[in-house]
Amino acid sequence: MADIPRNPEYVAVIDIGASAVKLVVAEVRPGQKPFVIEEASRGVLLGKDAFSKGRIGVASIESALKALEGFRRLMDGHGVSRYRAVATSAVREASNADTFLDRVQVRTGLQVEIIDGSEESRLTYLAVRERLHGHPALDAPHTLLVEVGGGSADMTLLEAGQPKHSGVYALGSVRLRQGSASAQRSHDRSVRVMSRHIANIVSDICNEMPLRSSTHVVALGQDVRFVAQELVDAPEGQLREVPRQAFLEFCGRIEKLDTDDLVERYGLSPVDAETLVPALLVYRALVEATEAASVIVPDTSLRAGLLMALVGTGTDAALADFSRQVLASAESLGEKYRYDAVHAHAVARWATSLFDQCQDEHGLPGRDRLLLEVAAVLHDIGLFVGLRAHHKHSQYLIAASEIFGLSSDDKDVIANVARYHRRALPQRSHLPYIALDRQDRVRVNKLSALLRVANALDAEHSQKIRGVTLRRDEPGWILEIDGGGDLSLERVATEARADLFLDVFGKRLIVRGAGVQS
C-alpha cells in the first residue's frame, strides 16, 4: 500500500531589525527543504530612535505594532503552526525594550526574543552555507562573510568554509546616519565624517581578523543586493558576483547622491534611500581591505537561517557540526591570547571524558558538554594579562569576547566555569557568579567541579596522563589514571582540586594509578 502524503506544515519567521520589520512564511513537507510562499517587509526605523535617544519612540512603536498586526493576520490566513520572531540591535539596545516586547505580545499575541550578535552570526552562516554549497568561496583558505544591517555589521571570517573569527561592530547604516546627522552639515560633509569613522573601525577589525588574506567576500543585505541587481543581469534569486572594480566604482558614484537624489533616480523608498549610502561605505571599506576579485551576493538572509533553524531536525550530526564551529572560534580566541594549546586540549579531553563518565550523576544535556569543552580550552587565557589571579582575567576576557554561535548567557556560564578552574570555589560574594540565575549557577558548579579535576590531571603541562576511568566505589569514587612516568604530582593535585567535586556531587574522589586495587 502506498504511503499517504502528509499535509504540509506552515511555519513563519519574523525579523525585527533597525530599519525594517520582515516576515517569511514557508511550507514544510517531510524530507524537503522549506518552500517560501510569502514574504513581507515594512520599513520601520526603530534604530533611528534607539541609536540617538537610547529608547524606541511612541510613533516608532506604533508603526512596528501595525506592521506586526498585519503579519499576524497573514500568518493566521496561512494556518501557521510554528513561528520564531526575533529582534536585533535596535531593540537590544533600547532602554524600553521590555515595554516594547510586552506591547507586541498584548497587541498581536506574538512572543519575540532578543538575539545577540553571536546568534545573528550563526543564523547568517547557516543560510550562506546552504546557499553557497559547492561554491569555491567555501573551500578558500579565507572568505569574509559580512552583512551590514541598520544597527551593526556582522562579520565572520571563514577558513575552508568553517567560522574562525567573528564579530559584531557598530557599523550599521542607521547608526552611522544618526551619528553624522547635523542640521548644518552638508551631504558631502556627512559622507566624509562617516568614512573617517568607518576607516578607524575597519583598521581595528584588521587587527583582530586577517582580512587581507581573504580572497572572497560574501556580502548580504538589502543594500548590497541593490548594487548587485544594478550591475549584474541575472534571473531573480540567482547568485550574483560583482567584479571588484565595478563594485567600488558604483559605490563611489552612489556616495555623491543624497536621499532625495536616490529616491528620484532609482525609485527607492525614503527608508531604503536613507540607509544605502552609509551601508555601501562600509561594504566598500571592507572589500578594499581584502584581496577579493569580486563581491559574491547570494539571495539569502538572516531570515533564511531562522527558517532553517526552526525546521531543523536537531540531529547528532548537526550538533557535532555546530560544536566544531564553536570550538574553532574558541581556539582562535585562545591563539589571540597566546594560550598553551597542547595543555588546553589535554584539559578539554579529560574534562569531557569525566563529563561522559558521570552523566547519570550530573544530569546535564549534551550542549553543556560543549560549554565545558570551551571553558577548558580557554581556562588559562588570562595568563596573557598576568600570572597573578589569571583565573579572574580569564573570566572577563571570555565574557567580553565574541565566540561564534554562543550567546551572552552561554559566555557568562563559560566565563564563570573558567574562573573556578583553580583557587576559590564559587561564592555568593562573587558578583559575576551571583548575577547568574539559579539554574545557571548549578550548571557552573557542576562543570567547574569537572574542570578543576581535569586541569589538575595535567598539572605540570606535560601531558603524562594517557587515560582516566571513573568508577563508583562506596562511599566515594575512584579515579584511575593511566600514564607514563611519575604521576605523584598529578595524584596530589587532583585530590586537592576535588574539593568542589565533593561539594557538588557528595562524593569523595580517590585517585589511583590504573590497575591498583582498593
- Residue 19, domain CATH: 3.30.420.40
Q: Which of 99, 115, 131 is the last residue of a domain?
A: 115
Q: Which of 308, 334, 357 is the last residue of a domain?
A: 308
Q: What's the confidence (pLDDT) of residue 182?
A: 61
Query: Lowest-confidence range among 139-148, 306-315, 436-445, 448-457?
Result: 306-315
Q: pLDDT class for 316, splitting at 50, 70, 90?
A: low
Is residue 499 domain-resident?
Answer: yes
User: Are 172 and 206 found together in one domain?
Assistant: yes
Q: Find, among 131, 125, 207, the residue nearest to 169 by Cα.
A: 207
User: Are 123 and 101 found together in one domain?
Assistant: no
* Residue 65 Cα to chain centre, angstroms: 27
pLDDT score of 122 more than 80: yes
Q: Which of 86, 115, 144 is the last residue of a domain?
A: 115
Classify strands 82-87 and 9-16 as parallel, antiparallel or unpaired.
Answer: parallel
Q: Whole-angstrom Cα distance, residue 245 to residue 243?
A: 6
Q: Whole-angstrom Cα distance, residue 50 to residue 64?
A: 14
Is residue 361 domain-resident?
Answer: yes
Cell numbers found for residue 211: 582580512
* Residue 390 Cα to chain centre, angstroms: 26
Q: Return the H-helix or E-strand segment holding 124.
A: helix 117-131
Q: Please give the tally of structural domains in the chain.
A: 3
Is residue 452 domain-resident?
Answer: yes
DSSP secondary structure letters along 250-291: HHHHHTT--HHHHHHHH---HHHHHHHHHHHHHHHHHHHTS-
User: Are 287 and 209 found together in one domain?
Assistant: yes
User: Are 204 and 147 found together in one domain?
Assistant: yes
End-to-end Cα, the chain, rounded Å: 62
Q: What's the confidence (pLDDT) of residue 152?
A: 92
Is residue 4 domain-resident?
Answer: no
Full domain range(s) for residue 321: 316-513
Cell numbers found for residue 407: 550567546
Is residue 95 domain-resident?
Answer: yes
User: Are 89 and 163 found together in one domain?
Assistant: no
DSSP secondary structure letters along 64-91: HHHHHHHHHHHHHHHT--EEEEEE-HHH
What sign does the dihedral 463-469-472-475 (CA atoms) show?
negative
Predicted confidence (pLDDT) per residue in 124-164, tens digit: 998 999 899 899 999 999 999 999 999 999 999 999 999 99
Query: Quick check: helix, strand or coil at residue 500?
Result: helix
- Residue 180, domain CATH: 3.30.420.150
Query: Quick check: helix, strand or coil at residue 168?
Result: strand
Collect contacts of 318-323 with beta carbons under 8 A, ≥24 apart: 319/366, 319/367, 322/122, 322/370, 322/405, 323/370, 323/373
What does pLDDT average to over the chain? Answer: 92
User: Are 192 and 154 found together in one domain?
Assistant: yes
Is residue 2 domain-resident?
Answer: no
User: Are 110 and 130 found together in one domain?
Assistant: no
User: Are 157 and 215 found together in one domain?
Assistant: yes
User: Are 338 and 244 found together in one domain?
Assistant: no
Is residue 470 domain-resident?
Answer: yes
User: Are 376 and 413 found together in one domain?
Assistant: yes
User: Are 320 and 460 found together in one domain?
Assistant: yes
Q: pLDDT class for 313, splitting at 50, 70, 90?
A: very low
- Residue 389, domain CATH: 1.10.3210.10
pLDDT score of 191 more than 50: yes
pLDDT score of 52 more than 60: yes
* Residue 198 Cα to chain centre, angstroms: 22
User: Are 77 and 206 found together in one domain?
Assistant: no
